[in-house]
Structure 1
Amino acid sequence: MPLPETQNEVVVLGEPVWRARSAAHEERVDELLAGHLRRRRDGVKHPVHDFLFTYYSFRPNQLRRWSPGYGVAPAGGPDPIPRADVVSRRDRIEGVHALLVATAGRPAHFGCFGLHEWAMVYGLAEDRVRHASHPLRLGAAGTDEVVEGHRVTCSHFDAFRFFTPAARPLNSLNPAADDRPAFEQPGCLHAGMDLYKHAFRLAPLIPAELVADCFELARDIRELDMRASPYDLTGLGYEPVRIETAQGKQEYAAAQRAFAERGAPLRQRLIEECERLLAASS
């Protein structure tokens, strides 16, 4: 592959290089999104993967759009991103960087066992839960017993805020919207999924391939998140992780640890991109 040239601190990608990268990115994203786009066309809801397009605000066509990031000029292609675009987003970049650095610097914890999903339905009748078309594996009473029989230690505000009012006092932590850097830790599944959010909030200033890497991680984590939930999703092909049992706890913690290890280099890449952008905007 030809090496990029540098002109006035802008990396110039030869046309064959950037066209190949763009095509590869679009092909990859098309494969990742095929199931979702098919279900959307047919009006079919999915309790696992719809989350990636409802909770997260990045649209499929935005994820598919390739960008080499700030400081790169595709020869014969789109104009490079102007520095003014970086300067105008400096506050957002600083906020993302601060949260990523704080999270990366905190020890990972693997003892929450995904109880956040259980706390989101605690005290509710089965017909009032978010995914009411899918039964609770243990029923409403059995689900409540699991929550009451465990120490709930959710550190992620955007999970904690969906706890039922009855479940909120049971959480040993009290994360808030404005103190995420004080709580988020790299073992948390939602902190891993949110690498995708941090990535697309930086788009198109960072390479599109990095955003897609974070999306793929979020997709895979979401499957574990819902397999460990109180819902029975066996009809969709998801075998439950029975976190109410000792074996299920071990299975969950092992998978959680693997995702933390997979997410660490992505978090570091995002940190480095933020630092590059902050330097360019100063």
Structure 2
Amino acid sequence: MPLLDERTWRAREAAHEARVDAWIVPHLERRRRGVKHPVLDFLFSYYSLRPAQLRRWHPGYGVTLESGPAFDHDAFLAKRGESVAWIRALLAATAARPAQFGCFGMHEWAMVYRQTQEEVRHNAWPLRLSPDDTAALVEERGVRCSHFDAFRFFTAPARPLNVLQPTRERQTELEQPGCLHANMDVYKWAYKLGPLVESELVADAFELACDVRSLDMRASPYDLAALGYPPVRIETPEGRAEYAAAQRSFAARARPLRERLIAAIDALPAHHPASAA
């Protein structure tokens, strides 16, 4: 079993804490002041990992402090083995599927389709187009969303407009590596693996999720320029080209993160169900 001396352990722990504090501290300050942020709050509200948990450093499976107690990874696996196996299957299926880059972020528009300014989720911020023009764009462009956890937030009238009807049961079948939400979710799968993977990998996935979320909302129907998020105007050919180029870049960044998560699961002892997935 790998051992870390206390000096190395504390140095890595401190580096991780300093890195994630750059994200956590501003969030906690906004929360203290009651200020909502339509872009960054998502990373702490939609995703269930609390700031203190993100800040806690783990070295990964089987690594222990030379002079301290070992984390009981085997007990964790005995409880979560089936979940770990499911995560591996989803990651592997997503990685093996061809990436699609033709959705142009229309999922965010489908979430406000046929709603008034007062009804939309982030109603403190204006829409870039009128509700009628927003609806017309959704109907003209169509929606090609493969991600269930985006699709489930579509308005009821928007759901029949999607070329797919994703369900939780079809998640492993449908997720693909060009999808912004699938690439943000690499963070979710990293933290759900918890102490089995090193916290540096969780932080890498969080950083990717931050950048993806920025594009997601810049290409959305909301006008967030006043917050420092200039729009990606996917209603124009130039905006769609800009979106697809960024989407390809994020897919390339997500690929090695998925590979690292799969490798971490595959390195588990053979007697655990997750390692045989």
TM-score range, shorter chain: over 0.9
Correspondence for 1:267? 258
Q: Kindly provide the CA deviation profile for residues 16-46 of structure 1, in whole angstroms up to 9, marking residues without a partner as x.
A: 1111111101111111222211111111000
Question: What are the within-5 Å matches in structure 2 for residues 122-133 of structure 1?
Answer: 122-133=113-124
What is the identity percentage for the equivalent residue pairs of Structure 1 and Structure 2? 59
For 1:52, give the aligned amino acid: L
Q: Secondary structure at the match of 1:224?
A: helix
Asked if the contact 2:108/2:221 (under 8 Å) is kept, the reply is yes
Task: Establish whether residue 88 from structure 1 lines up as the match of residue 79 from structure 2.
Answer: yes
Pick aligned residue for 1:118 from 109, 114, 120: 109
- Show the counterpart of 1:7: none
Please list, as runs of the form range in 1=range in 2, the aligned pairs for 1:50-61 lying within 5 A after superposition.
Answer: 50-61=41-52
Alpha-carbon distance between aligned partners in 2 of 1:204 and 1:219, rounded to the nearest angstrom: 22
Q: Verify the 8 A CA contact 1:93 1:278 in the aligned structure 2.
A: no
Query: Which of 7, 17, 29 is matched with 1:26 structurally?
Result: 17
Which residue number corresponds to residue 35 of structure 2? Answer: 44
SS at match of 1:198: helix
- Do the aligned partners of 1:69 and 1:205 also contact (CA within 8 Å) in 2? yes
C-alpha spacing 1:43/1:78, structure 2 compared with 1 (3 Å): farther
Q: TM-score, normalised by structure 2?
A: 0.96
User: Does the 8 A contact of 2:73 with 2:195 survive in 1?
Assistant: no
Letter in 2 for 1:184: E
Q: CA deviation at 1:76?
A: 2.1
Deviation at 1:179, TM superposition (A): 1.1
1:221 partner letter: V
Which deviates more from structure 2 when the two are superposed, residues 12-21 or residues 108-117? 12-21
Give structure 2 stretches of 5+ with no counterpart.
Answer: none
- Asked if the contact 2:223–2:231 (Cα under 8 Å) also holds between the matched residues in 1, the reply is yes
State the Cα distance separating 1:151 from its structure 2 match: 2.6
The answer to whether the 8 A contact 2:73-2:196 is kept is no
Tell me whether 137-146 or 74-83 shows the greater mean CA deviation: 74-83
Q: CA deviation at 1:278?
A: 5.9
Tell me the CA shift for residue 81 of structure 1.
2.8
Pick which of 203-212 and 108-117 moved more.
Answer: 203-212
Superposition CA RMSD, Å: 1.1
2:230 alignment counterpart:
239
Partner SS for 1:62: helix
Q: State how 1:130-279 maps to structure 2 within 5 Å.
A: 130-277=121-268, 279=270
Counterparts of 2:152 and 2:57, CA distance in 1 = 34
SS at 2:64 equivalent = strand
**4+ residue segments displaced more than 6 Å:** none
The alignment of Structure 1 onto Structure 2 pairs a total of residues equal to 273
The offset of 1:80, in angstroms, is 3.2
Q: Corresponding residue for 1:13?
A: 4
SS in 1 for 2:196: coil
Per-residue deviation, residues 199-238 of structure 1 (Å, max 9, x unmatched): 1111022111111111111011000000000000011011
Q: Structure 1: which 5+ residue stretches go unaligned?
A: 1-9
* Conserved? CA contact 1:70–1:81, under 8 Å: no
Helix, strand or coil at the partner of 1:264? helix
